[in-house]
């Protein structure tokens, strides 16, 4: 196995393989400088200020490129780099960039927050690619009277939460716990947080969007039509165009929220507690979300398995303790284990800030950058106590990989599997995130870490969903399949990962993709493919 992982590491640049001859990056830069004014009413001076080339203005280029790389594993010298980075500040510049990329014949990658776990918003298998970096599109307009917010695709979740908090203490948005995740990728891939059992996914609350399509048109929900609007709410927006903004519906939350964290080792009946958790969370009050972390830890100089039960409850501690005493007494929750606060306090807690931190920390766009790898699975039948114990034992044996169990039930059971491209609704007990991170840049450490994730994924096969084995798009994992080359024969390859991410919704996504982007211009290593033989045959050759 180790030799296979070493081969994978060495071939990582070849996964992003050069299917076409690479063109001089300066040539691409000059082509954009010449093309953009022809597609815009703005001056060359204005347009050139948003274009960064690896040779033309290399220092600024490097700063912009690295600013939103969130995984050092994807920031090595050998990592493929874009010829050009375009940082638009207005919609017309996005339109011009799309039209010029088509004319020049380069692939365009779209980046909002940079948290893509495999970096495919800023890395490519095509040697001639550019990044359209949307970080300037971060305006947020909250309307409490209408209970809506219009959010730019480059805004971060923390910024959205803070702007809601500024206007109301009883409104929220049900999205992820990491404040530095970009809105664009989070929503276009599904998006969930600690309120999913109460309100469902983030995409279940998207009511409008603005997108630049392959023809350079700016479309909203009405003009794009319901099929495309459906597709960009969980089907991966970068397969269909450039998302400019989403309009979302806010939700109402109580003034008092409660959180707790209880940790138990295997010797403290962690296996039995996790087993009971599976049945409890399937039917307990929708206001309660309890995530479970399974980790190998050191206790008295011995490595053991530990489960951490971390909760967010939409209500006060008295009612939570009563609820847990009735439904999950084995966990032994006491009032002194609980911390009450507002919704924004719960946001800060889940983002790992202490209770003295002011909410404006959510406006900080910086984050700690380490090396990492993620995978995902879905569990549909309860895992036995012995099965959970074997999982703990395997985690301890491997050494550093951990699990995050996210419970479903509640509202997730009520929304149809085809209401959005995200299909994993009723019938799923919980989702698993495989998580491993490291700080040592040595290649041997990376080999070992990736090996741990793959070995554990194989180990979990008997416990997780089957035919197909489910996966979550926002926990991007190139191990489960990729489109190779320029995407010309992408349908067969796309089916492999597409069915895992989207189940029966994959076929509808392919039909929509074929209708709106028949030449597969908007593509990446795991994008939605077009139907075979449906391309209009337009040339993708580099403009001379």
Q: Catalytic residue at 475?
A: yes
Catalytic residue among 192, 275, 475, 491: 475
Question: Cα(58)–Cα(53) distance, rounded to whole angstroms?
Answer: 6
Q: How far apart are the first and last CA of the chain?
A: 46
Report yes or no: 525 and 496 within 8 Å, Cβ to Cβ. Answer: no
| Alpha helices (runs of H) in 182-304, residue ranges in sequence order | 183-188, 196-199, 221-224, 226-231, 270-283
Residue with tokens 């022809």: 38
Q: What angle do CA 152, 157, 158 make, to 5 degrees?
A: 120
Question: Which pair of structure tokens corresponds to residue 174?
Answer: 């049900």
H or E element at residue 469 = none
Question: Cα(143)–Cα(153) distance, rounded to whole angstroms?
Answer: 18
R_g of the chain, CA atoms, integer Å: 23
Q: What is the dihedral of CA 380, 382, 387, 392, to 10 degrees?
A: 80
Exposed e or buried b for every residue in 383-406, given b needs 16+ CB within 10 A? beeebbbbbbebbbebebbbbbbb
Which are the contacts of 169, defined by CB distance < 8 A and separation ≥ 6? Answer: 255, 342, 343, 344
Question: Cα(478)–Cα(8) distance, rounded to whole angstroms?
Answer: 11
What residues are annotated to the active site? Answer: 475
């Amino acid at each position: 196995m180790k030799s296979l992982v070493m081969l994978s590491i060495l071939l990582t640049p070849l996964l992003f393989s050069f299917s076409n001859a690479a063109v001089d990056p300066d040539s691409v830069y000059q082509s954009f400088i010449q093309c953009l004014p022809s597609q815009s009413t703005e001056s060359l001076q204005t347009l050139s200020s948003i274009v960064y080339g690896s040779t033309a203005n290399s220092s600024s280029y490097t700063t912009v490129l690295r600013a939103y790389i969130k995984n050092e594993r994807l920031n090595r010298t050998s990592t493929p780099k874009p010829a050009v980075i375009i940082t638009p500040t207005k919609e017309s510049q996005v339109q011009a960039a799309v039209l010029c990329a088509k004319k020049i014949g380069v692939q365009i990658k779209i980046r909002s927050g940079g948290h893509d776990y495999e970096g495919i918003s800023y890395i490519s298998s095509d040697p001639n690619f550019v990044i359209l970096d949307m970080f300037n599109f971060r305006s947020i307009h909250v309307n409490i009277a209408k209970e809506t917010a219009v959010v730019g695709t480059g805004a971060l979740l923390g910024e959205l939460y803070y702007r809601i908090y500024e206007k109301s203490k009883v409104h929220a948005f049900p999205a992820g716990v990491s404040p530095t995740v970009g809105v664009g990728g989070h929503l276009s891939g599904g998006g969930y947080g600690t309120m999913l059992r109460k309100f469902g996914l983030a995409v279940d609350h998207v009511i409008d969007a603005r997108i630049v399509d392959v023809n350079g048109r700016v479309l909203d929900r009405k003009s794009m039509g319901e099929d495309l609007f459906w597709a960009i709410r969980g089907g991966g927006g970068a397969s269909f165009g450039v998302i400019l903004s989403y309009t979302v519906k806010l939700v109402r939350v109580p003034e008092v929220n409660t959180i707790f964290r209880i940790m138990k080792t295997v010797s403290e009946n962690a296996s039995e507690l996790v087993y009971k958790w599976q049945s409890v969370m399937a039917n307990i009050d929708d206001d309660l979300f309890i995530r479970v972390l399974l980790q190998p830890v050191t206790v008295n100089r011995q490595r053991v398995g530990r489960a951490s039960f971390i909760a967010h409850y939409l209500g006060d501690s008295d009612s939570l303790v009563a609820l847990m005493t009735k439904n999950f007494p084995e966990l032994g929750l006491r009032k002194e284990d609980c911390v009450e606060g507002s919704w924004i306090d719960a946001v800060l807690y889940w983002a790992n800030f202490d209770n003295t931190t002011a909410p404006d920390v959510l406006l900080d766009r910086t984050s700690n950058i380490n090396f990492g790898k993620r995978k995902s699975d879905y569990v549909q039948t309860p895992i036995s106590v012995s099965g959970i114990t074997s999982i703990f034992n395997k985690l301890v044996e491997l050494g550093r990989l951990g699990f995050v169990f996210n419970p479903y039930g509640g509202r997730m059971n009520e929304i149809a599997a085809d209401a959005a491209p995200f299909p994993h609704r009723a019938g799923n007990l919980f989702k698993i995130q495989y998580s491993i991170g490291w700080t040592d840049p040595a290649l041997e450490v990376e080999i070992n870490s990736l090996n741990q994730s793959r070995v554990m994924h194989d180990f979990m096969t008997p416990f997780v969903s089957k035919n197909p084995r489910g996966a979550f798009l926002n926990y991007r994992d190139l191990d489960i399949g990729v489109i190779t080359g320029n995407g010309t024969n992408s349908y067969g390859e796309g089916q492999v990962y597409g069915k895992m991410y989207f189940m029966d919704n994959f076929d509808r996504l392919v039909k929509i993709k074929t209708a709106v982007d028949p030449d597969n211009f908007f593509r990446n290593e795991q994008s939605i493919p077009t139907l075979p033989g449906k391309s209009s045959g337009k040339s993708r050759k580099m403009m001379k």
